[in-house]
Chain A
Amino acid sequence: MVAAWVVVVVSLAYLGLLFGIAHHGDKRAAAGRSLISSGVVYALSLAVYATSWTYYGSVGRAATRGMEFLTIYLGPACAMACSAVVLQKIIRVSKRYRITSLSDFAAARYGNSRVLGGLVALVAVVGTVPYIALQLKAVSSTFRLVSGGEVSAAGVPPYADTALYVALVLALFSILFGTGHLDATERHEGMVAAIAFESVVKLVAFLAAGLYVTFGLFGGFGDLFDRAAASPALADATDIGEYGNWFWLIVLSAFAVLLLPRQFQIGVVENVDERHVRTAAWLFPLYLLVINIFVLPIALAGVLLLGPTVSPDTYVLALQQSSALALLVFIGGLSAATGMVIVETIALSTMVSNSLVVPLLLRRAEVAARGDLGRLVLRIRRVTILVVLLLGFGFFRISGDALGLVDMGLVSFAAVAQFAPALLGGLWWKGATRNGALAGLVAGIALWAYTLLLPELAKSGWVPGSVVRDGPFGIALLRPQELFGLTGAGAVGNGVFWSLLVNVVLFVGVSLAGRQTPAEAGHAALFVDIDRRTPGPGTRFYRGSVPVARLRDLLARFVGAEAAAALVTEHATRRGAPLPDDAQADPELVRQVETALTGAVGPAAARALVASVADEEPLGMAEVIELVGEAQHLRELDRLKDEFIATVTHELRTPLTSIRAFTEILRDNPDLPAAERARYLEIMATETERLTRMVNQVLDLARLESGNAEWRVTDVALGPLIDEAATATAQLFTDGRVALDVDVPAGTTVVEADRDGVVQVLLNLLSNAVKVSPPAGGRVRITLRTDDRVARIDVADDGPGVPATERELIFDRFRQGGAGGTGGTGLGLAISRRIVEQFGGTLEVSDCGGNGRGATFSVGLPVSAKSAHAGAKRR
């Protein structure tokens, strides 16, 4: 094989290269030229899913259990295929609410529950440490194999074990590139670049190994499979095994690809652009497909050529005969292991610090009062990384050779699958409660420990084997791997089934039986309805008082004085008013500070911190629901509606004022002369009529805006309609002593429209024109002009005109021209424009020939084919 010092040098060179790539990635990110902003890099970094388990363990599994290894990749292939639905929603929620870990996600979904967040973090650590252990084991044993030593670590003292030094180098890497700074987004571009690179390395190395075995040691797939078919040792090589087990493993891995801490870190937290998910949806499954093609061939070759004396987990490496290829394969395996360890420890460090340590520390007054909490958080994370890696190393050394790569990995998978009901269910089901999530998770983990962890521990001899074989106290029904006598699902399938079943039943049952607190209900809506909410300011769950300065000082302790001051200044600028230190912070500022803190310490701690400086009043259920309903665009709509109602009310009050006044005058003055009485009654009749017209117009507009107006669209000739409108308004013109010119060319201009609708528009324009015309001597002109496509009716007056700045405003509901108070509702033009638009037309206003006096309202309607033109006819 290869000399140990060569392996060490090459390995160190490889790790050095990783540091270089990560450093370069961070530098590019700082310069704003991201190295990882591509769907391909995103998909490659997601391939951190493929660890030593895939690299070495799959072959081992295939050699002993047939096709079962494939389930671990079929599940993710399915989960990623619909990632546009599931993963994308998780990403959206996490980005919007600055969620940077699984435990924060759980806590935030269930009303910032610290207990739930802490539990998730704890389960993640317990479930993942053995998984990290098996990566270290793979590195340790393959190092000894490639350098020609014993595979077993049994005789090697811990300080001489390569795995220890690999663990320390990886801790250094994770600390440097995972906890270099405290950032609200928790993104680590350099680390992601390195992980994507590792994915390429392990794929190339594994394919090289597979090609060499299939085409170098054998004569291709046909030859290899033929010889395998002839071998009695390989009779079960393509066995599916129990269908129940097969099914549950697919379910398990589909959950795992979303919920493993490292997958959440890469897939959600490190996601640069939501659109990259589209690429990953097919590229990541393709990666998994390609890396799996040679698993079965290598396994078959291993059994045929090496037999059971060599550990099947090392076949990939043991089959290589050239030292160069062996070294390449070793480096590939190293990349698979290191990628996993790096991302996993970073993800765990965020969880442990945000959900376990910081909330506990903050309870202690002397800690909460410290000025440099940001550095404290970073230190906690660095210590966590080191501790997790050493725990992993310790676990591997203690459990020794009993640790099967795949078995232990599956146990980890099953642990994180317990998050699925609470996290994925809670993303679509608003009724899910914190207690339901807690109950399901606790029960699921208990059953997981009993059915899956216990048998693994028994293998290491830490628990008597009889407990697993015969059941505790000899009760066969309680055998962990065949709980309640369930068979046909396999040992793992059995555990996954029972733990998930009880988890789901309790999650749903307890949720249905209990009640949500207002905060829970609010957060549930924020998560489930994420797509119905506009980006930007979210909902405020805050009703209390805190001076601006206190909030800023709180934030400064985590992100530094400069960044905190910048946030406040920016908010003040957006508000358009200065924010003095002693001013009460508005809910939006409180929310922003909380969000910024969430990035640093997680939602639970952020919530507690803000609550500690703000004297908050508890919110009632109704208020939360009301607040939730106030997502920004809804607020905007409400504001418009308020405005509309206020204006309608105002307009209706004007005629009502006259009517009421004269009614009372008539009542209180029975002795009025008949002429005066008649005059007042006439006014009342006129004003009542005006009121009626307004009500009708409001109804018209409501119908038009809701799309419920009924139109009978036919071919209508415009000439006769103009005449009709002129006749109908003749009295108005006479009364106002305003002249009306009608200029309609001979021939027929036909448009497709509703006859009454067009008349209504013309009547409105003509009566407006009379109103704005100077009394006595005014002149209004209505003209019809047609070109090939558009018929244009102009109504020109010589009133005061419409200033250019108001030309669009007058078409708003209730905006009256500058003259104002002329008895209109202000609705006429809004209604007219909407009517014309119904028929594909336009309504605009311009001035009359630019002399500054008079206004011309132009109706444009598309001409129907049935028009006939002739010369102009004047009247």
Chain B
Amino acid sequence: MARILICDDEPNIVVSLEFLMRRQGHEVRAVGDGDAALAAVTEFAPDLVLLDLMLPGRDGYEVCQTLRADGHHMKILMLTAKGREAEIAKGLAVGADAYLTKPFGTQDLVARVQRLLGAGT
């Protein structure tokens, strides 16, 4: 049981992520852009953030960087529809713990989330 923050601007993808996380018994909050994500972090104090890269306004990299700069140590799992090496490397460089390429396999996602949560606590 953990707190999961979902940050993605595609409503249907959010629905699926919410379902998958709740199914695992996590407490879930979902937001649609970077600013909302930063606000939600303070208020919701998630253990893990599922962060999409392509967000309106502040993109995923910026959100991730800001979170780390502010001293947050929650796990960050990046979701990206761009599977290029450069983007993945950049994501990890700004402080993400792992990444998944869209379209992701649901079991893979769940396993990855469990592993990250297990390692952190």
Interface residues of A (CB under 8 A from B): 646, 649-650, 653-654, 656-662, 664-665, 668-669, 680, 683, 686-687, 818-821
Q: Which 3 A-B pairs have the closest CB atoms?
A: A661-B16, A821-B9, A657-B103
Q: A683–B15 contact, CB under 8 A?
A: yes
CB distance from A680 to the nearest CB of B (A): 8
CB distance from B90 to the nearest CB of A (A): 15
Interface size class of B (residues with CB under 8 A): 20 to 34
Interface CB pairs A-B, < 8 A, 8:
A646-B82, A649-B81, A653-B81, A654-B102, A661-B13, A665-B16, A668-B107, A819-B56
A683: contacting residue among B9, B12, B81, CB under 8 A: B12
CB distance from A437 to the nearest CB of B (A): 45
Q: Mark B52-74, 1 if CB is under 8 A from A, else 0.
A: 00111000000000000000000
CB distance from B18 to the nearest CB of A (A): 11
Residues of A with C-beta under 8 A to B19: 665
Does B118 reach chain A (CB closer than 8 Å)?
no
B102: contacting residue among A653, A662, A664, A668, CB under 8 A: A653
Residues of B with C-beta under 8 A to A650: 54, 81-82
A669: contacting residue among B23, B54, B105, CB under 8 A: B23
Residues of A with C-beta under 8 A to B104: 657, 660-661
CB distance from B82 to the nearest CB of A (A): 5
Q: With A650-B82, A668-B107, A820-B56 in contact, do A657 and B13 touch (Cβ < 8 Å)?
A: yes
Which of A657, A658, A680, A686 has the most chain B CB atoms inside 10 A of its CB? Answer: A657
Q: B81–A657 contact, CB under 8 A?
A: yes
Q: With A646-B84, A665-B19 in contact, do A654 and B13 touch (Cβ < 8 Å)?
A: yes
Q: B16–A658 contact, CB under 8 A?
A: yes
Q: A686–B16 contact, CB under 8 A?
A: no
Q: With A654-B13, A687-B12 in contact, do A664 and B56 touch (Cβ < 8 Å)?
A: no
CB distance from A335 to the nearest CB of B (A): 67
Residues of A with C-beta under 8 A to B107: 664, 668
B56: contacting residue among A657, A661, A821, CB under 8 A: A821
A654: contacting residue among B16, B17, B81, B84, CB under 8 A: B81
Residues of A with C-beta under 8 A to B15: 658, 680, 683
Residues of B with C-beta under 8 A to A659: 103
CA distance A683 to B15 in the complex (A): 9
Does B24 reach chain A (CB closer than 8 Å)?
no
Q: Mark B20-40, 1 if CB is under 8 A from A, else 0.
A: 100100000000000000000
B79-121, CB < 8 A from A: 81-82, 84, 102-107
Q: A656–B103 contact, CB under 8 A?
A: yes
CA distance A143 to B16 in the complex (A): 104
CA distance A509 to B19 in the complex (A): 74
Q: A660–B105 contact, CB under 8 A?
A: yes
Q: B16–A662 contact, CB under 8 A?
A: yes
Residues of B with C-beta under 8 A to A662: 16
Closest to B102 in A: A657
Instruction: Please give 18 more A-B residue pairs, beta carbons under 8 A apart, in addition to A656-B102, A658-B10, A664-B106.
Output: A649-B81, A653-B103, A654-B10, A657-B13, A657-B104, A661-B20, A661-B103, A661-B104, A662-B16, A665-B19, A665-B20, A665-B106, A668-B106, A668-B107, A683-B12, A818-B56, A820-B54, A820-B56
Closest to A676 in B: B19
CA distance A432 to B84 in the complex (A): 42
CA distance A820 to B103 in the complex (A): 19
CA distance A649 to B20 in the complex (A): 25
CA distance A687 to B55 in the complex (A): 19
CB distance from A800 to the nearest CB of B (A): 10
Residues of B with C-beta under 8 A to A657: 10, 13, 16, 81, 102-104
B13: contacting residue among A646, A649, A658, CB under 8 A: A658
Q: A686–B12 contact, CB under 8 A?
A: yes
Closest to A652 in B: B81
CB distance from A813 to the nearest CB of B (A): 16
B54: contacting residue among A656, A660, A821, CB under 8 A: A821
Q: B9–A664 contact, CB under 8 A?
A: no
Residues of B with C-beta under 8 A to A649: 81
CB distance from B59 to the nearest CB of A (A): 10
Closest to B55 in A: A821
CB distance from A644 to the nearest CB of B (A): 14
CB distance from A659 to the nearest CB of B (A): 7
CB distance from A780 to the nearest CB of B (A): 21
Q: A820–B82 contact, CB under 8 A?
A: no
Residues of B with C-beta under 8 A to A683: 12, 15-16
Residues of A with C-beta under 8 A to B103: 653, 656-657, 659-661
Closest to A669 in B: B23
CA distance A657 to B11 in the complex (A): 12
CA distance A660 to B107 in the complex (A): 11
Which of B16, B55, B56, B82 has the most chain A CB atoms inside 10 A of its CB? Answer: B16
CA distance A665 to B9 in the complex (A): 20
CA distance A653 to B82 in the complex (A): 9
Residues of B with C-beta under 8 A to A821: 9-10, 54-56
Residues of B with C-beta under 8 A to A819: 56
Residues of A with C-beta under 8 A to B106: 660-661, 664-665, 668
Closest to A690 in B: B12
CA distance A660 to B108 in the complex (A): 12
CB distance from B57 to the nearest CB of A (A): 9
CA distance A15 to B70 in the complex (A): 85
Q: A820–B12 contact, CB under 8 A?
A: no
CA distance A653 to B81 in the complex (A): 6
CB distance from B120 to the nearest CB of A (A): 24
Closest to A817 in B: B56
Which of B12, B16, B102 has the most chain A CB atoms inside 10 A of its CB? Answer: B12
CA distance A646 to B84 in the complex (A): 9
Residues of B with C-beta under 8 A to A653: 81, 102-103
Residues of B with C-beta under 8 A to A687: 12
Closest to A668 in B: B106
Residues of B with C-beta under 8 A to A686: 12
Residues of A with C-beta under 8 A to B12: 658, 683, 686-687
CB distance from A810 to the nearest CB of B (A): 15
CA distance A650 to B79 in the complex (A): 12
Residues of B with C-beta under 8 A to A654: 10, 13, 81, 102
Closest to A662 in B: B16
CB distance from A432 to the nearest CB of B (A): 42
Closest to B32 in A: A821
CB distance from B44 to the nearest CB of A (A): 22
CB distance from B22 to the nearest CB of A (A): 11
CB distance from B87 to the nearest CB of A (A): 10
Residues of A with C-beta under 8 A to B55: 821
Closest to A667 in B: B106
CA distance A658 to B107 in the complex (A): 14
CA distance A689 to B82 in the complex (A): 22
CB distance from A614 to the nearest CB of B (A): 28
CA distance A646 to B80 in the complex (A): 13
CB distance from A799 to the nearest CB of B (A): 13
Residues of A with C-beta under 8 A to B23: 669
A664: contacting residue among B54, B82, B105, CB under 8 A: B105
Closest to A655 in B: B12
CB distance from A809 to the nearest CB of B (A): 16
Closest to A679 in B: B15
Closest to A658 in B: B12
Residues of B with C-beta under 8 A to A660: 103-106
Residues of A with C-beta under 8 A to B56: 818-821
CA distance A686 to B10 in the complex (A): 13
CB distance from A816 to the nearest CB of B (A): 9
Closest to B59 in A: A820
Residues of B with C-beta under 8 A to A665: 16, 19-20, 106
CB distance from A27 to the nearest CB of B (A): 55
